[in-house]
Amino acid sequence: MSYRRVTPGIISKIEEIVGKKYVLTEKEDLEPYSRDETPGLSFFPEIVVKVENSKQIVELFKLCNKEKIPLTPRGGGTGLTGGAIPVKGGIVLSFERMNKIKDIDRENYMAVVEPGVINGNLQRELAREGLFYPVNPASMDSCTIGGNVAQSSSGANAVKYGGTKEYVSGLEIVTPTQDVIKAGGKLVKNVTDYKLIQLVVGSEGTLAAITEVVLKVIPLPEVKIDLVVGLDDLSLLQSILKKIWQEKIILTSIEYIEEFAVKITKEYVQNPPFLPSAHHYLMIGIDGEEGEVNERMENLEKIFTEENVQDVLVAQDRKQQEDLWKFRQSVREALLNSGASMVEEDIVVPRGKIVEFMEKSKRVYESYSLKTGVYGHLGDGNVHYNFIKPSKEEKNWEENVEKALYELFKIAISLGGKISGEHGIGLTKKKFLHLALTRAEIELLRKVKKAFDPNNILNPGKIFDL
């Protein structure tokens, strides 16, 4: 489908809908909206529209359907697959003004928020009330709840608590067909529809604009222990993980940073916290009531003793805990800054297969001599592979990365995995979708998309082509 340009006449109509000062048209103002955090990807929108409410979005959708203008929703712009980048031009629909925490309902354990609320701000606000929203992506201080819902994001706490999809109990959405739908609500249970909520969670801004989110919250855990385990021998990973699962030790986080990524991050962060001297790191968090947390820690220590793991450092105070997780959150940035460019993947496999996947994939990227930073959510079976381009002049790098990716994806799929655990398909993984989904599945997704957005005006060019 071909789209029309945003003419001065259309801009005037949009200014009438949202107010002149909320429409950006100058190139320098548009530039930050031409990219997200995906390295090397940029497409300029023709204009940016900062919406304030669902009524304005209804009017915009009406106009854009009539004029055949594409719109791309945007939250914090921290996406890693180009989801918020307007590949077909048109309008970037920015939710930055819709950033209110509308209600923290202590009786129902629910928070009602606008989509532009920054995840970390919600976390802090809830903590003041003794409440907890456990979904903590490493980008939590810049990503929005709307973006989290659209991506079905998760964070280091997912081992125990799961990801966004586990917490969305209600949504207000505006479909491109201009219906304002309130799905679910402050409900613990609800079997009244086709699970519209779950259809929109993870739909990457292609089905509807998310205008309000009702999130389940829980009591803030009493205590938390964070520790780093240094390993020189990777073969220990499998036996440690296996014992954790077998012994049914409920851990909150099991994160992993491989040797090369550890080294680069240590060099990158200004004051690296106390850290083990071993090469690879396991970062573990345990939270809950004091008694149960101590018991889990004791069980974990037994495993370390059995496996002869001695390089274990436990954070002694809040500052050390924060420094530890800051180190983990700096890994991606450190890797990105260590080369000329980077391609990043977030393959997911069943958690029991993750070590097998890592061993097989190491052979693949080494066979292509690719500098690769490996880190991520080991306990979820979701480890990130970041391929670093050493210099702009590096020959055949893109081709080799692509070949390696095909092999990695095939290994993951043969182990029962998928090509994305949390970053989504967006633009960058579109060409690999056929490896993970059957033709029938993709066809069904197309039909769903057409039901929501018959004229394909919302975030076109993402996930699959129509």
Ligand X SMILES: Cc1cc2nc3c(=O)[nH]c(=O)nc-3n(C[C@H](O)[C@H](O)[C@H](O)COP(=O)(O)OP(=O)(O)OC[C@H]3O[C@@H](n4cnc5c(N)ncnc54)[C@H](O)[C@@H]3O)c2cc1C
Distance CA 299, CA 255 (A): 18
C-alpha radius of gyration, the chain, whole number: 23
- Closest to ligand X by CB, 96 or 407: 96
All residues at 6 or more sequence positions from 465 whose CB lies less than 8 Å from its CB, including other chains: 430
Give the residue among 288, 377, 270, 286 at the shortest CA–CA distance from 326: 270
- Choosing from 86, 134, 137, 285, the residue that interacts with ligand X (CB under 6 A) is 137
Contact 174, 186 (CB under 8 A): no
Query: Cβ 78 to ligand X, closest distance in Å?
Result: 3
- Closest to ligand X by CB, 60 or 303: 60
- Choosing from 70, 73, 86, 230, the residue that interacts with ligand X (CB under 6 A) is 73
- Choosing from 45, 70, 79, 134, the residue that interacts with ligand X (CB under 6 A) is 79
Q: How many residues belong to the site for ligand X (CB under 6 A)?
A: 36
* Token duo for residue 244: 């954790």
- Choosing from 45, 70, 76, 230, the residue that interacts with ligand X (CB under 6 A) is 76
- Closest to ligand X by CB, 326 or 360: 326
User: Which residue reads 């779950």 in tokens?
Assistant: 198
Contact 76, 142 (CB under 8 A): yes
Q: Which 239-258 residues touch ligand X, going by CB under 6 A?
A: none
- Choosing from 138, 229, 343, 354, the residue that interacts with ligand X (CB under 6 A) is 138
Binding of ligand X by 422 (CB under 6 A) = yes
- DSSP 8-state assignment for residue 171: E
- Closest to ligand X by CB, 95 or 365: 95
Query: Cβ 347 to ligand X, closest distance in Å?
Result: 13
Binding of ligand X by 36 (CB under 6 A) = yes
Binding of ligand X by 336 (CB under 6 A) = no
* Token duo for residue 104: 């923290």
Q: Is 255 helix (H, G, I), strand (E, B) or coil?
A: strand
Q: Is 395 helix (H, G, I), strand (E, B) or coil?
A: coil
**Cα angle vertex 12, ends 10, 13, to 5°?**
65
For ligand X, what does the binding mask look like between residues 374 and 413, x meaning CB under 6 A?
Answer: ----------------------------------------
Q: Which 140-179 residues touch ligand X, going by CB under 6 A?
A: 143-144, 146-148, 150-151, 153-155
- Choosing from 75, 176, 202, 417, the residue that interacts with ligand X (CB under 6 A) is 75
- Choosing from 123, 139, 428, 456, the residue that interacts with ligand X (CB under 6 A) is 139
Tell me the one-letter amino acid at 117: V
Binding of ligand X by 123 (CB under 6 A) = no
* Token duo for residue 83: 């989801």
- Choosing from 14, 24, 49, 77, the residue that interacts with ligand X (CB under 6 A) is 77
Query: Cβ 77 to ligand X, closest distance in Å?
Result: 4
**Which ranges of 191-289 does DSSP label H, i.e. alpha helix?**
196-200, 235-246, 259-268
Binding of ligand X by 215 (CB under 6 A) = no
For ligand X, what does the binding mask look like between residues 174 and 213, x meaning CB under 6 A?
Answer: ------------------------------xx---xx---
122, containing H or E segment: helix 119-128
Binding of ligand X by 456 (CB under 6 A) = no
Binding of ligand X by 332 (CB under 6 A) = yes
Contact 214, 182 (CB under 8 A): no
* Token duo for residue 271: 């004051």
Binding of ligand X by 83 (CB under 6 A) = yes
Query: Cβ 82 to ligand X, closest distance in Å?
Result: 8
Binding of ligand X by 37 (CB under 6 A) = yes
Give the residue among 400, 251, 270, 402 at the shortest CA–CA distance from 333: 270
Q: Is 161 helix (H, G, I), strand (E, B) or coil?
A: helix
Q: How far apart are the first and last CA of the chain?
A: 9
Q: 285 exposed, middle or buried (CB, 10 Å; 0-12, 13-18, 19+)?
A: buried
Q: Which residues bind ligand X (CB under 6 A)?
A: 36-37, 72-80, 83-84, 95, 115, 137-139, 143-144, 146-148, 150-151, 153-155, 204-205, 209-210, 332, 422-423, 459
